[in-house]
Amino acid sequence: MGNKFWCYTSSKSLLMLSDILFVMTITFVIYQDTQSVAYAAVFPLIRTICQLLAGLFSPVLTDYFQAGRLLKWVPLLRLGMLILFTAQFHLFQQHMVWLFSALILISLTGGFISPLMQAIMPMLVPANQLVKANSTASIFHQTIQIAGYSFTGMLVLLIGPFYLMWITCVMIVLSYLLFIPVFPLLKQEETVRKANKMNSFKDGWTIIWRNKTVRTLTFMDVCENIAGAVWIGAITLAFVTHDLKQGEEWWGFINAAYYTGAIIGGLLAAWMSQFIQKNSFSSLWQLVHSFMQC
């Protein structure tokens, strides 16, 4: 795991942190303006659905354009949208329809970036170090998430949503700069493949539909993402302010507790990386079996 691995990991971590700041800031603003859990929950839910849809259609885009070209221009497009959104934030804040329309577009671009970023890891490390690299990156990412969820509530109160949005834009710029050394590693692909432009989309759904294990895991992941998006955002915020009668900083602390458990899981995966690499299927089955016995 060399310098390019750490550039990639740092870039992705900054991107994740900027996304956390963005989501929690907008959720806080919507809840403060409407005092409605339902309205505040709509944005995280819409964001998750948009990212899922974008992820499904990202293989079609990679059939038209090189992955390197997409990773160069889609983040810049998203950054431009965020800068425009932040500059006109007070205007969007007054019109919910415009606000949610802008958030849908920003979420779609973020959804296109995520699967492309995830596909880069095998290019950075040898196959026999892939589990260890993924575990290390996971610990790093989860640590960033804990910090983001822990302090965003306080930052919103201290510096305000408007300035926090500008900090989000700066983080995306830094993330893009850190990713530049990784561009040469991206495989050169055929720019246009009209004859097979839907093959990637069909093949992915075929694998999910025919393989029961993959289908079950995909369904679990989708349900977890949708439920987690609503729970982490509006529900915990309303619970903290109305039921616990605490400040917004406890909103972040509760969310951070979840990711603390994720870090412990990442540490266990890193510790058992060689065993998991050799016995991936049996390890998964033993884990599921143990969970069912509890």
**Given this model, what pLDDT does residue 192 score?**
38
Q: Which residue has the tokens 């900090």?
A: 167
Whether residue 19 contacts residue 176, with contact meaning beta carbons closer than 8 Å, is answered with no
Tokens of 196: 């097979």
* pLDDT at residue 114, rounded to an integer: 78
The count of residues in the chain is 294
Alpha-carbon span 173 to 107, nearest angstrom: 17
> Residue 81 has what pLDDT?
92
pLDDT tens, N- to C-terminus, the chain (294 residues): 667 888 888 888 888 888 888 888 888 888 888 877 777 777 777 887 887 788 777 777 776 777 777 888 888 999 999 999 999 888 888 888 888 888 888 888 888 887 777 777 777 777 777 777 777 787 777 777 777 777 777 787 788 888 889 999 999 999 999 888 887 777 544 443 444 444 555 555 565 666 666 667 666 666 666 666 666 666 777 777 777 777 766 776 777 777 677 667 767 766 766 665 555 555 555 555 454 444
**Superfamily, domain 3-293:** MFS general substrate transporter like domains (1.20.1250.20)
Q: Where are the domains of the chain?
A: 3-293
Q: What is the DSSP string of 20-87?
A: HHHHHHHHHHHHHHH--HHHHHHHHHHHHHHHHHHHHHHHHHHHHS-HHHHHHHHHHHHHHHHHHHHH
**Helices 3-34, 37-64: crossing angle, 10 deg rounding:** 140
pLDDT of residue 270: 65
pLDDT of residue 191: 41
